[in-house]
Amino acid sequence: MASRTFDFTDRIAKGIPSPPKAGSAGGRVKYDFTTAFPDPDSFPADGLLEALGQALKAEGKDLVYYPHPQGHPVMREFLAEKLARERGMKVSPDQIILTTGSGQAVARYVELLTDPGDTILLEKFSYSGTMGIMRRHGAKLVGMEMDSEGILPEALDETLNDLEAKGVRAKFIYTIPTFQNPTGADMGLQRRQDVLAVSQKHGVPIFEDDCYADLRFAGESLPAIQSLDDEGSVLYCGSFSKIVAPGMRLGFMAAPQPVIESVKAIHLGATPSQFSVLATLYYLRDHLDEHVQELRDIFRAKKDTAVAAVGEHMGSRVECSNPDGGLYLWVKLPEGANTAAVLSKARERQMGYGPGTNFSPGQDAYNYLRLCYGHLTHETIREGIARIARFFEEEGLLK
């Protein structure tokens, strides 16, 4: 056999992003605040194993068939009921498609809706994964001004007016209304109604990414924007990553029937593993409320520890969010700081965080960082934040 290596460089399709630079992601480090992993000790391994055993006894033989193209029908019934009860949504199981996490749901919606050159509106700071997918489809991203309740309706209206004056019809609005990634912003009811009203006035649909809705540890639960919509103009997705584990790779999309039919055309053969679906379904059918309550208690306590540590070690030199749910703190350092520029060095010293540039449509939020506290112990959170603060001082980011 010849030992030459075929060079695929000129065969790789245009639009495939270059591989990540060394140091930007890489392996895990000791004080790793980079990614929103949940708490490892809360992972219900025994419960899932027992649930999978029960499920395989009851319906294991069905695994010789390919799953339903929209995913396991009983799981979709479970979801339709959960969404009605907890998010005020009226969707039938036929309007749901199971996906391998909400990341795949995001990819499907973006693929379905985006032509190169399209304009998409989103929060001024947003989820890096979604923005990466949008960029790959050639979209222009326009960030909306926001506050602790998310997108400002006036800013949305003004931007849509400006675009219309230039003959541009925005394709859709992407929003994470509940415990927004990365800011933790939580859209109040009035704000949800106002944002929806502006979108309807301009005839621009909303894509609501609600993957943190289960993780509320303070304040009252708010209905999904989708539930307030009477025009069928809101597309929705959610995830089991945050309440079971990302390793399960399980999420879903919920949308009006014609959209679901179009998604089915691009989702062929892509339904999640029945093992994951069955274990999750049989486990959550019996344990949903107690398990989610346990997670909320864990994350509330860790968030308090993280907020206290930022206060102690960075103090009034920074502005730090204090969200009522979710898995992140969003920290603003003084102007002139550049958290991306020192990330490789931080990782060499076993510290990881999300640099602000990852979360801004213009990739320019240099003086921000996102800290995920979900999977670290209280001690590691305290020690890690103290180390990051010291490191920023040494590097001149915090004076």
10: CB partners within 8 A, 6+ apart: none
Exposure letters 329-357 (e unless 16+ CB within 10 A, then b): bbbbbeeebbbbebbeebbeeebbbbbbb
Residue 329 DSSP label: E
Binding ligand PLP by CB under 6 A: which of 34, 70, 95, 102? Answer: 102
Residue of 226, 204, 108 whose CA lies nearest to 156: 204
Q: Reduced to 3 states, what is the DSSP secondary structure of residue 66?
A: coil
| 145, 155 Cβ separation under 8 angstroms | yes
Binding ligand PLP by CB under 6 A: which of 67, 93, 101, 177? Answer: 101
Distance CA 272, CA 45 (A): 19
Residue of 179, 284, 166 whose CA lies nearest to 222: 179
Positions in 137-176 near ligand PLP (CB under 6 A) = 176
Q: Which is nearer to ligand PLP, 36 or 260 (CB)?
A: 36
Joined together, the tokens standing for residue 110 give 């973006």
x/- track of binding to ligand PLP for residues 197-226 (CB under 6 A): ------------x-x---------------
Q: Reduced to 3 states, what is the DSSP secondary structure of residue 208?
A: strand
| 83, 75 Cβ separation under 8 angstroms | no
- Rounded least distance, CB 102 to ligand PLP, Å: 4
Binding ligand PLP by CB under 6 A: which of 36, 107, 122, 142? Answer: 36
Q: Which is nearer to ligand PLP, 184 or 384 (CB)?
A: 184
Region binding ligand PLP by CB under 6 A among candidate stretches 42-50, 160-168, 238-246, 330-338: 238-246
Strands (E), the chain: 31-32, 96-99, 119-123, 140-144, 146-147, 150-151, 172-175, 206-209, 234-239, 251-254, 319-320, 328-332, 351-352, 354-355, 368-372
- Rounded least distance, CB 150 to ligand PLP, Å: 12
Positions in 119-138 near ligand PLP (CB under 6 A) = 127, 129
Q: Which residue has the tokens 């995001």?
A: 106
Vertex 180: Cα angle to 217 and 382 (nearest 5)? 60
For residue 336, give the amino acid letter.
G
Region binding ligand PLP by CB under 6 A among candidate stretches 97-105, 161-169, 185-193, 307-315: 97-105
Binding ligand PLP by CB under 6 A: which of 181, 227, 233, 339? Answer: 181
Region binding ligand PLP by CB under 6 A among candidate stretches 9-17, 71-79, 98-106, 223-231: 98-106
Q: Which residue has the tokens 């399709």?
A: 13
Distance CA 128, CA 134 (A): 10
By CB under 6 A, how many residues form the interface with ligand PLP? 15
Q: Which is nearer to ligand PLP, 36 or 79 (CB)?
A: 36
Q: Which is nearer to ligand PLP, 202 or 302 (CB)?
A: 302
Region binding ligand PLP by CB under 6 A among candidate stretches 62-70, 144-152, 197-205, 239-247: 239-247
- Rounded least distance, CB 127 to ligand PLP, Å: 4
Region binding ligand PLP by CB under 6 A among candidate stretches 79-87, 99-107, 299-307, 387-395: 99-107
Whether cis (ω within 30° of 0) applies to the bond prior to 69 is no
Q: Which is nearer to ligand PLP, 215 or 333 (CB)?
A: 215
| 254, 91 Cβ separation under 8 angstroms | yes
Region binding ligand PLP by CB under 6 A among candidate stretches 100-108, 116-124, 254-262, 287-295: 100-108
Positions in 243-302 near ligand PLP (CB under 6 A) = 246, 251
Q: Which residues of this chain interact with ligand PLP, rule CB under 6 A?
A: 36, 101-103, 106, 127, 129, 176, 181, 209, 211, 239, 241, 246, 251
